[in-house]
């Protein structure tokens, strides 16, 4: 029989009635002839509650025990769904990450999957026609035998990894939206659901602010060629919508120049004035930030008015803004800059599309359109299939709508 992986997020399993709805989706796919593995998240709000308990228990908590606590949310959901499926006459059993096993690194709270043995799940398919209901977001470190969690959004990663391990025909990620849109429909009502998106485009969208899929899950899908659908769990289980297929670029017949517009409010701008311009200065600035696990983006270096010095501007996550300033001010004697300026009232707007590879002037059109709307660009970065601009946060909606219309994404 063909194999299918289905993943359901927290809002899809928020209560018993929604879990029953998930079971109806599973029943439909079994009736269609699939052996099914289901990956589930914790019930909506449960992980936050468990994290809160850890913080209340100890200010400086053991990351291994933290993982033992927060992974329990998925275990509860897996057991409940297995019970509901059994009650509906469908053979099912729950699996925790360590039982599969899903082997991970020992970076508790942000572990990476190293290997998965899918043979026990396949045996359950073949011997008992059993639905495997697997706790997402978690695995086990082989050396220590301790549970390790994969970080927020890790259930998406679990699902794609399981799909690759059991050689599933596809992986369906069920969320509270019915697919990937050209941009956020709450900002642009004319935003359209995309039928297909290339892996590379989805990877850029996920990393640049679109929250439909977790970045690592897209990376895994691209590496292992796992066809992935984004679908809504709130569709009628008997008449579901097709959703959006994430696939190889070659599987998309007609590709637009720009596929989507993403934005991220989680940005802060840092500018160092009159930095000493000599070999090693960039390393002196960015190595301490790297050691503090602060991700740096949109780096711009320009010549200063003073000979022998330069100005350096870059962005960091807004949550790391104060920490970044403290690290740089501490290192000021070694770096040798005159002053530090920062702003966290900025937003990064990005246009993504594999069609950019074969079309010139795509970014230039955006710069002109934004200028005509009176929107000043603070920083620019580009790659083969995307460009990003940093602007004042107050112009977010105007900028997104302007670019969405500019590239014809409003049109069906």
Is the bond preceding 101 in cis, omega lying within 30 degrees of 0?
Answer: yes
Residue 305 lies in a domain: yes
Residue where one domain finishes, among candidates 248, 282, 301: 248
The residue among 181, 152, 182, 157 whose CA lies nearest residue 171 is: 157
The pLDDT of residue 388 is: 93
Q: Is the pLDDT of residue 410 over 70?
A: yes
Residue 43 lies in a domain: yes
The model's confidence at residue 66, banded by pLDDT at 50, 70 and 90, is very high
Cα separations in angstroms, 170 against 2, 6, 166, 237: 9, 9, 10, 18
- Burial group, residue 282, by CB count within 10 angstroms (0-12, 13-18, 19+): middle
User: What sign for the dihedral angle of Cα 70, 75, 80, 85?
Assistant: positive
Residues 14 and 147 in one domain: yes
312 plus 215 within the same structural domain: no
Residue 117: CATH number of its domain: 3.40.1160.10
pLDDT digits (tens, 9 = 90+) for 75-121: 999 999 999 999 999 999 999 999 999 999 998 988 999 999 999 99
Confirm whether 64 is domain-assigned: yes
Q: What is the pLDDT of residues 139-195, one digit of tens each?
A: 999 899 999 999 888 999 999 999 999 999 999 999 988 899 999 999 999 999 999
| Domain CATH number, residue 344 | 3.30.2130.10
What is the model's pTM?
A: 0.84
Q: Are residues 127 and 234 in the same domain?
A: yes
Same domain, 52 and 158: yes
Binding residues: 7-10, 47, 74, 175-176, 181, 186, 211-212
What's the pLDDT tens digit per position in 286-310?
A: 999 999 989 898 888 876 566 678 8
**pLDDT digit string (tens) for 222-278?**
999 999 999 999 999 998 888 999 998 888 876 788 999 999 998 999 999 988 878
How many structural domains does the chain have?
2
Binding site for substrate: which residues? 47, 74
According to DSSP, the β-strands at 309-316 and 379-383 are unpaired
CB 269 within 8 A of CB 342: yes
Q: Are 233 and 311 contained in the same domain?
A: no
Q: Is residue 123 part of a domain?
A: yes
* Containing structural domain, residue 396: 261-406
Are residues 305 and 172 located together in one domain of the fold? Answer: no
Residue 256 belongs to some domain of the structure: no
Q: Which residues contact 325 (CB under 8 A, 6 or more apart)?
A: 270, 340, 342
Binding residues for ATP: 7-10, 175-176, 181, 186, 211-212
Let me know: does 344 contact 268? Beta carbons within 8 Å.
yes
Length of the chain in terms of residues written = 412
């Amino acid at each position: 029989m063909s194999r299918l992986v289905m993943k359901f997020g927290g809002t899809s399993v928020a209560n018993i009635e929604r879990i029953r709805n998930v079971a109806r989706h599973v029943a439909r796919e079994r009736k269609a002839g699939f052996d099914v593995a289901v990956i589930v998240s914790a019930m909506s709000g449960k992980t936050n509650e468990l994290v809160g308990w850890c913080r209340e228990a100890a200010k400086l908590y053991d990351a291994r025990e933290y993982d033992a606590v927060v992974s329990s949310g998925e275990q509860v959901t897996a057991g409940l769904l297995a019970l509901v499926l059994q009650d509906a006459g469908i053979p099912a059993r729950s699996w925790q990450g360590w039982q599969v096993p899903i082997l991970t690194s020992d970076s508790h709270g942000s572990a990476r999957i190293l290997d998965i043995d899918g043979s026990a799940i396949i045996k359950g398919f073949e011997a008992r026609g059993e639905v495997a209901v697997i706790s997402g977001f978690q695995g086990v470190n082989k050396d220590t035998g301790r549970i390790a969690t994969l970080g927020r959004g890790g259930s998406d990663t679990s699902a794609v990894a399981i799909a690759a391990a059991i050689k599933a025909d596809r992986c369906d990620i069920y969320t509270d939206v019915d697919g990937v849109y050209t941009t956020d429909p709450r900002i642009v009502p004319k935003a359209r659901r995309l039928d297909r998106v290339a892996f590379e485009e989805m990877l850029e969208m996920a990393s640049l602010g679109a929250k439909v899929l977790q970045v690592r899950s897209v990376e895994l899908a691209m590496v292992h060629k796992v066809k992935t659908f984004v679908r809504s769990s709130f569709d009628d289980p008997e008449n579901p919508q097709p959703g959006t297929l994430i696939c190889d670029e070659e599987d998309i017949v007609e590709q637009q120049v720009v596929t989507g517009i993403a934005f991220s409010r989680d940005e802060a701008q840092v500018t160092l004035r009159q930095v000493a311009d000599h070999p090693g200065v960039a390393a002196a600035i960015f190595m301490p930030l790297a050691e503090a696990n602060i991700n740096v983006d949109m780096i711009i270096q320009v010549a200063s008015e003073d000979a022998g010095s330069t100005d350096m501007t870059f962005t960091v996550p807004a949550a790391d803004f104060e920490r970044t300033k403290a690290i740089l001010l501490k290192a000021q004697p070694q770096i040798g800059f005159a002053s530090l300026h920062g702003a966290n009232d900025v937003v990064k707007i990005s246009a993504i599309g594999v069609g950019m590879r074969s079309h010139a002037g795509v970014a230039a059109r955006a710069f002109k359109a934004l200028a005509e709307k009176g929107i000043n660009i603070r920083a620019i970065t580009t790659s083969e299939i995307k460009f990003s601009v940093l602007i004042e946060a107050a112009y977010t909606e105007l900028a997104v709508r302007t670019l969405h219309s500019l590239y014809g994404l409003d049109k069906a």
